[in-house]
Amino acid sequence: MIEHLRDKGLGVGFACRVLGLSESAYYARKKRPKSARRLRDEQLMPL
């Protein structure tokens, strides 16, 4: 969601505030490798 808003021209900080997240949590999650389940889910239902 945040990446989508960023692509629309909104800042990450603004998007995080609107969604009630900290920027540090967003970037920490973004750094983690994708889980096996998430990889399977992405194969089954591509955006």
pTM for this predicted structure: 0.64
Q: How far is CA 3 from CA 6, 18, in A?
A: 5, 13
pLDDT at residue 45, rounded to an integer = 85
Amino acid at 46: P
Domain of 35 in residue numbering reads as 2-44
Q: How many structural domains does the chain have?
A: 1
> Where are the alpha helices (H) located in the chain, listed in sequence order?
2-7, 12-19, 23-31, 36-44
Share of the chain residues as helix, strand and coil, in percent rounded to the nearest 5: 70, 0, 30
Amino acid at 12: V
Q: Model confidence over 1-43: pLDDT tens digits?
A: 888 888 988 899 999 998 999 999 999 999 999 999 989 998 9
